[in-house]
Amino acid sequence: MRHAEQVTFGGSGLDRAAHLRSDIAATQDHPDARALVLWQGKLLIEEETRAALRVPLDHPVMADASATRLFLGLDDAGPVFAVSLDHWDPEIAEEDDITAFLDPSEQRHPLLDGGVFAELRVIMTQLSARDAELAASAKSVLAWHDSHQFCSNCGVESEAADAGWRRACPSCGRSHFPRTDPVVIMLILSDDDVLVGRSPGWPEGMYSLLAGFVEPGETLEAAVRREVFEEAGIKVGEVSYLASQPWAFPSSLMVGCLGYATSTEITLDPNELEDARWVSRAEMLEASQGDHPTLKPARKGAIAHFLLENWLNDTLD
């Protein structure tokens, strides 16, 4: 697919400089070294421009950061790190629900003038390609550290190593590395119709492409066919790859695939989907423009929206 890496969180050409991870002292002492700052997975951005804020590594706010300092790579401005403010406990407004699926609230740290912490899914389409790649990497790896603090081999607390890209067990010597879970998301076509579905609890009128985790020992093509049949009872023949998207919620790689249905009768699995339906190209075009009476457009920034827009614009090849 010619436009594959134009998807949100797609590649920006970042030099990850993996050769610097084993000896990071000189890099973090570089005068131009800066850090992205996260709090509970939210990214620090400039309130006015909505660009990611980068702060010096000796900024006073670092007193609230966890011990893990993640080296993300080198860009034109210098070395870039990421930290999480695990030791900051702000007052949350009564009307703000920071546990919501899509949290629009923003928090302000007293030491960070002009900056706010914002939910990445809310601001993802406002970020530059570079900031989006950095933010997705930071959110995913820092969340992995939070959920993998103990060695899965012997149970002893492990330690961050290789500038945050590994955890080492001081007891048994086992190394642990950040994980990425592959998920197939499918543009399933039958003539000029596309298959979409909705999960329970979604806003009224919201539909998206079907998706599911790849199982161990399974090819991407097999995962596409299995997931579509399990969820909607549709059989799929030819399958091909289109594009991928890092999806740090919490740590997946969305693998966009094109599949052609060999059957059309939907048999819904109510444990997976609330509804599934075939939508014509004309209807989907209406929805994408916000003109459909009942069907909402796919969420901008998600790979489902990207694949549907390319299908509508005949730019899948």
* Closest-CA residue to 246 (of 53, 4, 80): 4
pTM over 0.85: yes
Annotate 225-242 with b (16+ C-beta within 10 A) or e (fewer): bbbbeebbebebeebeeb
Give the pLDDT score at 308. 97
d(CA 308, CA 275): 19
Give the pLDDT score at 25. 86
Asked whether the beta carbons of 264 and 157 are under 8 A apart, the reply is no
> Dihedral through CA 150, CA 166, CA 72, CA 211, nearest 10?
-70
Which domains does the chain carry? 4-147 (3.90.79), 181-312 (3.90.79.10)
Give the pLDDT score at 3. 85
Strand partners, 70: 82
Asked whether the beta carbons of 233 and 212 are under 8 A apart, the reply is no
d(CA 132, CA 143): 16
Question: Which 3-state string (H, E, C) describes 100-154?
Answer: CCCCCCCECCCCCCCEEEECHHHHHHHCCHHHHHHHHHHHHHHHHHHHCCECCCC
CA of 156: how far to CAs of 66, 141, 148, 162, 166, in Å?
19, 20, 11, 19, 15
Give the pLDDT score at 101. 67
Q: What is the mean pLDDT of each run of 10 residues along the chain (317 residues)?
A: 91 94 90 97 97 97 96 95 97 77 90 97 96 98 97 98 97 97 98 96 92 98 98 98 96 98 97 96 95 92 96 94
d(CA 214, CA 243): 16
Asked whether the beta carbons of 231 and 208 are under 8 A apart, the reply is no
d(CA 275, CA 231): 10
